[in-house]
Amino acid sequence: MPIRVIGLNNRTATIETREIFSFDASGVKAALEDWKKRFPEAEAALVSTCNRTELYFATERGVLPSDVDVFPFLIAPKHKSDDPPVSFERFASVFQTFDNVDAIKRLFSVASSLDSMILGEPQILSQVKRAYDIALATGSAGPILNGAFQTAFKTAKRISVETGVFKRRVSVPSVAVVDFALNIFERVNDKRTLVLGAGEMAEETLKYLVDYGAKSIGVANRSRDKAEALASKWNGRVVDWEDRVDALTSSDLVICATGASEPIVDLKQCEKGIEQRVERPLFILDLAVPRNVDPELGKCPNVYLYSVDDLEKACARNKELRDKEIPKATRIVDEEASGFVSGVNARRSIDAIKTLRENWSKIKDEEVERLLRKIDCDQREEAEIRYAFERLVNKLLHSPTVSLRAEAEQGPNSRLLEAMRRLFKL
């Protein structure tokens, strides 16, 4: 089962280098169409994301193309005419290659997000599925890669169900929403959300809230233009900066992430508004350093105030718990990869035995017919002769069948199979 992966990722190459080998969907399609013309006997699939570009290629028979030969298919279209040319020698050091069972494990680990920048990120599985869909559409994926990718998706599902790798959030915005906000509110689609600030942290946290259904969104920022841009992007409304205190005390969820050097909201400003809330919970995420919210506000009844330190402690706990699940996930990858390789080898063994049986059966039939033409026998005797020859062929095939199946269970070593092919001219 010759299969190989060659590629680079955020661990081996800078973003400037990754850009040279980064494809959009149309570029992947064009590359695979060219591949089919250049290597019609070899299968291929190309996975390209912002953090990695990897080419998986395989063949049922024969020898795989060399890394130098496949390298041009890894260069993004707009960089093919670069000066100086993009050469394999220039970038060889940032590429990694994996063969056979290691290549299978690589695919399964990538699809399962065990090789991602953020372990357990769900986006990578959909990206691998899109790459597979393109390979199917172009016809560059054959029996080996079809089986490999399908088993990769099964592996990712097993890891999701059987381990906690995907259950533990480790980024501050995701922990803020999933581990804190959703522990106070069962749902957020009926809650009023206010964002104070318009930077990356504020937007990333808002994105998670929207993913979980947040709809009523207000944005306040000293720069109204930035507030308008963020509000427009997430179908929200702009809140005047001077009205931020009233907006805070009338909201349910508040995200504070401005660059202010001192609190922008204090207890005295909020006391009256909080008293009027009766028993409605107020959830405040203060993601700023220095803090945006007076810590005394968190002592008020039904006010849940969390700082970035609270969130980072939760991130660290989650990471520790998640990392404990990695060995279990790795065992699943190893198990599925071993099963896949054994299955492929078993199918190859079965094909070889089938061909050998067909050849020997043909010889057996010819010899039986030759013998029957020379002797006189009744129907019972003829049946006994045919049965004896059939048993002889089955007994002769028993040992090679057992040996080949045993080899398939041991792994990808196919020397016995290839020796049998040469010995019996299969």
Catalytic residue positions?
50
Query: Is 254:248 a contact under the CB 8 Å cutoff?
Result: yes
Asked if residues 44 and 56 have their Cβ atoms less than 8 Å apart, the reply is yes
- Contact status, residue 400 vs residue 375, Cβ threshold 8 Å: no
Tell me the CA distances in angstroms from 381 to 9, 361, 374, 387, one per residue in order: 71, 20, 14, 10
Enumerate the H helices of 112-251 as residue ranges: 123-138, 143-162, 172-175, 182-184, 200-211, 224-233, 244-249
Closest CA to 413 of 341, 336, 332: 341
Strands 43-48 and 303-307 turn out to be: unpaired
Q: What is the distance between the alpha carbons of residues 214 and 183, in angstroms, rounded to a whole number?
A: 15
Helix ranges (DSSP H) in 279-325: 308-323
Q: Sign of dihedral through CA atoms 244, 248, 251, 252?
A: positive
Closest CA to 107 of 149, 66, 140: 149
